[in-house]
């Protein structure tokens, strides 16, 4: 799978999924279990960050860990690392979105089997918008505590994070409308594992929306965040039901990378067999 030009790209889902688990650990477990849980979350963050970098600079976006680490110097190091990872992940994602947009302009909508991929740009935009807001919020607390940069630097990072998050949310709204319009136009399309693209992109877009609602505060964004969150829950239940059904009847999982690997091994076996036949033939020995 690692050597497959397309399937290898899905390795980024591992650190991305782990990041979601770490976020929920920070939300639920750290406030209940105390300081040791914060350091355990930090350890998981380090593992996830390393995996992300190894997976061609994936998008970890788990900067909320810095907010719960008790030691301010460690929190500052986590914050700076998170800014670097955010910059790498988001900027690379934006270049891919540009390529994807050009593909849509030149070749129109994707085939029905992968039409759900229209939701994928919401992932980096929603997570990037949420992440930069949290980075600004953490910087507002950590920078003054560690005497990093000048006075008021934390407030500047916080305000820039909010504005950037709002801009990312606006760009995501464009892709959300495009995706919904595409699904409405196609109407019927076959179920496959690509349907899981309904859940994560819309989920992180919902977190970005809710975070904007908390920062302003805004009842409109809070209401939209609630609607998006409920939509994610409904879609998750729907896709899970279809996935269980597909697993039961054995029609769901397809691994093109394995098919390519089998074909490659078959050709190598045929080549070795022909070589062995040539080595053992009387004419070759003579």
| 24-76 pLDDT per residue, tens | 888 888 888 888 888 898 889 888 888 877 765 544 343 446 566 666 777 78
pLDDT in tens, 166-175: 999 999 999 9
Neighbours of 50 (CB within 10 A): 12
User: How many residues are listed for the chain in this entry?
Assistant: 286
Q: What is the DSSP letter of 112?
A: G
CA dist., res. 149 & res. 241, Å (int): 52
pLDDT for 59 equals 41
The pLDDT assigned to 163 comes to 92
Residues of the chain with pLDDT under 50: 58-64, 284-286
Would you say 284 and 278 are in contact if contact means Cβ atoms under 8 Å apart?
yes
- Residue ranges per domain, the chain? 7-274
How high is the pLDDT of residue 64?
Answer: 47
Q: Can you give the pTM of this predicted structure? A: 0.73
**Assigned token pair, 229:** 């969150």
Return the CATH fold of 7-274: Glycosyltransferase (1.50.10)
pLDDT confidence of residue 237: 92
In the numeric block, which tokens belong to residue 42? Answer: 């930090």
């Amino acid at each position: 799978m690692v050597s497959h030009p397309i399937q290898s790209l899905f390795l980024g889902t591992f650190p991305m999924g782990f990041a979601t688990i770490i976020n929920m650990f920070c939300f639920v477990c750290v406030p209940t279990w105390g300081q040791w849980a914060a350091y355990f979350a930090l350890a998981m963050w380090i593992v996830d960050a390393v995996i992300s970098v190894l997976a061609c600079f994936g998008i970890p976006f788990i900067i909320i860990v810095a907010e719960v680490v008790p030691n301010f110097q460690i929190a500052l190091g986590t914050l700076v690392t998170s800014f670097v990872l955010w910059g790498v992940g988001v900027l690379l994602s934006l270049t891919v979105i540009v390529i994807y947009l050009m593909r849509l302009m030149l070749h129109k909508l994707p085939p029905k089997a992968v039409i759900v991929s229209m939701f994928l740009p919401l992932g980096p935009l929603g997570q990037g918008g949420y992440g930069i807001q949290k980075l600004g919020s953490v910087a507002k607390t950590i920078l003054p505590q560690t005497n990093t940069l000048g006075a008021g630097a934390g407030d500047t990072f916080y305000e820039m994070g909010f504005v950037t998050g709002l801009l990312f949310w606006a760009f995501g709204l464009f892709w959300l409308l495009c995706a919904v319009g595409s699904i409405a136009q196609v109407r019927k399309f076959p179920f496959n594992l690509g349907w899981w693209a309904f859940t994560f992109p819309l989920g992180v877009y919902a977190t970005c929306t809710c975070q904007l609602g908390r920062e302003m505060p805004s009842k409109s964004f809070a209401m939209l965040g609630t609607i998006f969150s409920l939509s994610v829950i409904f879609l998750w239940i729907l896709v899970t039901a279809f996935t269980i059904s597909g697993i039961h009847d054995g029609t769901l999982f397809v691994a093109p990378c394995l098919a390519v690997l089998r074909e490659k091994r078959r050709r190598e076996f045929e080549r070795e067999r022909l070589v062995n036949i040539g080595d053992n033939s009387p004419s070759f020995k003579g």
